[in-house]
């Protein structure tokens, strides 16, 4: 893998206002270009907005969604070509009569890849994807994409690594989530967010505590470490319908070490240089080489306890 300069962006999407959200993407892309960024990762569904999706009818979803070759993807492609950059951002994709939570990756050579979220739960009319997404980029590295809940399941990241991914694009909308599990995250009072300028310590305590960074640190570094890949985590921040996203966007190396992160309760961008020389000697790569696949058949046998991510999400 060649060395590459990567950036992760967090921003507050405006629900259903694709023009405004694309303008934010343009502004961050210009900043990234000024810093020599080659890979720019924006959050899940940042073009359309995210958590309000669960309230939409099929007709409303139809008006919000667009095909892969639609205007939002064209805007990303134009930015990628103009700045010589690979850029990823999330939206709702329409494919005939089906809708997907999709992440579009536009590359400066005109190519475009998409990943459809494997574990979609946002709306009954949004289908889950059935394919892993790994591809070569013009910058000399092989990329994989997993969206939010996809990254929670260890099997998904391992398969992405086995398919040759060296850098995992991990767009999210997480932190501060409603849950029935008292030990897992929980809502952030909207007044704490709105009062962040007058009382910055209150919101910082929430973002860096168990509802935000504390939760992430229990599992996110292990996805990079155990699979020997770089991980670019881009999350939403701020108001997301009736929840508050915690940001904490960060970039990790193949040892699970944080190369750069933001702890700001604000829209922000973090930049880090990914050094390809770290990959061959990483612990995760050694562990992958030590695999004994003949022992793992039980991984693909149903236990009878499986449930859809939609059911699991709303039971948390």
Encode the chain (316 residues) as per-residue pLDDT tens digits.
999 999 999 999 999 999 999 999 999 999 999 999 999 999 999 999 999 999 999 999 999 999 999 999 999 999 999 999 999 999 999 999 999 999 999 999 999 999 999 999 999 999 999 999 999 999 999 999 999 999 999 999 999 999 999 999 999 999 999 887 767 789 999 999 999 999 999 999 999 999 999 999 999 999 999 999 999 999 999 999 999 999 999 999 999 999 999 999 999 999 999 999 999 999 999 999 999 999 999 999 999 988 887 666 655 5
| Contact (CB, 8 A) for 225 and 215 | no
Q: Give bridge partners of residue 167 from the DSSP assignment.
A: 143, 230
Tell me what pLDDT residue 178 has: 87
Tell me what pLDDT residue 315 has: 54
Tell me what pLDDT residue 54 has: 97
Tell me what pLDDT residue 306 has: 87
Q: How many residues does the chain have?
A: 316
Tell me what pLDDT residue 180 has: 76
For residue range 227-250, list pLDDT tens digits in order: 999 999 999 999 999 999 999 999
* Helix (H) or strand (E) run with residue 142 in it: strand 142-145
Q: Give bridge partners of residue 136 from the DSSP assignment.
A: 142
d(CA 87, CA 37) in angstroms, rounded, equals 10
d(CA 231, CA 233) in angstroms, rounded, equals 6
Tell me what pLDDT residue 182 has: 66
Q: Which domains does the chain have, with CATH numbers?
A: 4-315 (3.60.110.10)
d(CA 206, CA 243) in angstroms, rounded, equals 13
d(CA 202, CA 204) in angstroms, rounded, equals 5
For residue range 248-261, list pLDDT tens digits in order: 999 999 999 999 99
Tell me what pLDDT residue 309 has: 73
Tell me what pLDDT residue 162 has: 98
Q: What is the pTM of this model?
A: 0.96
């Amino acid at each position: 893998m060649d060395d590459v300069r990567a950036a992760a962006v967090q921003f507050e999407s405006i629900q259903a206002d694709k023009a405004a959200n694309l303008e934010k993407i343009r502004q961050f892309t210009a900043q990234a270009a000024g810093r020599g960024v080659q890979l720019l990762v924006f959050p899940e569904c940042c073009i359309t907005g995210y958590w309000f999706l669960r309230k939409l009818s099929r007709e409303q979803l139809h008006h919000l969604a667009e095909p892969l070759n639609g205007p939002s993807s064209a805007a990303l492609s134009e930015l990628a070509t103009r700045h010589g950059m690979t850029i990823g951002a999330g939206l709702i994709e329409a494919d005939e009569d089906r809708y997907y939570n999709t992440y579009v990756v536009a590359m400066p050579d005109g190519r475009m890849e998409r990943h459809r979220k494997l574990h979609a739960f946002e709306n009954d009319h949004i289908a889950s994807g059935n394919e892993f997404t790994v591809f070569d980029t013009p910058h000399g590295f092989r990329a994989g994409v997993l969206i939010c809940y996809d990254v929670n399941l260890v099997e998904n990241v391992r398969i992405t690594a086995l398919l040759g991914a060296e850098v995992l694009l991990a767009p999210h909308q997480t932190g501060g989530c409603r849950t029935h599990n008292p030990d897992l995250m929980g809502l952030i009072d909207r007044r704490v967010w709105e009062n962040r300028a007058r009382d910055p310590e209150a919101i910082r305590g929430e973002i860096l505590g168990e509802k935000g960074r504390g939760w992430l640190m229990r599992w996110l570094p292990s996805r990079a470490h155990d699979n020997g890949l770089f991980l670019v985590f881009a999350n939403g921040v701020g108001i997301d319908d009736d929840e508050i996203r915690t940001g904490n966007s960060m970039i990790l190396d193949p040892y699970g070490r944080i190369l750069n992160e933001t702890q700001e309760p604000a829209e922000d961008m973090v930049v880090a240089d990914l050094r390809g020389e770290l990959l061959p000697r990483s612990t995760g790569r050694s562990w992958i080489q030590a695999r004994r696949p003949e022992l793992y058949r039980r991984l693909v046998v149903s236990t009878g306890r499986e449930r859809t991510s939609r059911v699991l999400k709303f039971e948390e």
